[in-house]
Amino acid sequence: MLLFVFQCSRIIDVEVVQANTTKYFQREMDELRKTMSREVTKTTVKVAKMVVAENGLPVAEPLEDVILIGNVSMEKAQRAVNKTHEGSVTVFGVETETQVYEMAVEDFIKHATLKVQEPEVVQA
């Protein structure tokens, strides 16, 4: 008789655990549906303008850092900086950082532009 009671209470415990686990995962799934996240890599480019000092030697005059999206090499950063800056500008360092951004799905829908796919034309 004691064994039967123990087994019944054990069955109830398993059902309680299953019910609590289901509620927990349902809450987690609801939270996942409410937000979306995106991993973004950006590269900070250290830039300097080459100027001639009073003594006639070239000197690097630091400029404001340039932020580029993606993992950008020194060579690609130099090409991008040459397009946006006048004169002799040199890249002397790149620092890459990856971060995860999160946003509510409702906010994403408010700020995003709807991408409309045009139907494919099939020629016979």
For residue 61, pLDDT over 60 is answered with yes
Confidence (pLDDT) at 1: 39
Range 22-46 burial, b when 16+ CB lie within 10 A, else e:
eeeeeeeeeeeeeeeeeeeeebbbb
Residue at 26: amino acid letter = Q
Mean pLDDT, residues 74-79 taken together: 95
* Upper half-sphere CA count for residue 103 (Cβ side, 13 Å): 11
**Cβ of 78: how many Cβ atoms within 10 Å?**
17
**pLDDT 10s digits, 28-54:** 666 656 888 999 999 999 999 988 888
Name the residue ranges covered by the structural domains of the chain.
Answer: 37-105
d(Cα 104, Cα 68) in Å, to the nearest integer? 25
Assess contact for 78 and 99: CB atoms under 8 A. no
- Structure-token pair, residue 54: 């009073």
Confidence (pLDDT) at 18: 64
* Upper half-sphere CA count for residue 48 (Cβ side, 13 Å): 11
Confidence (pLDDT) at 75: 95
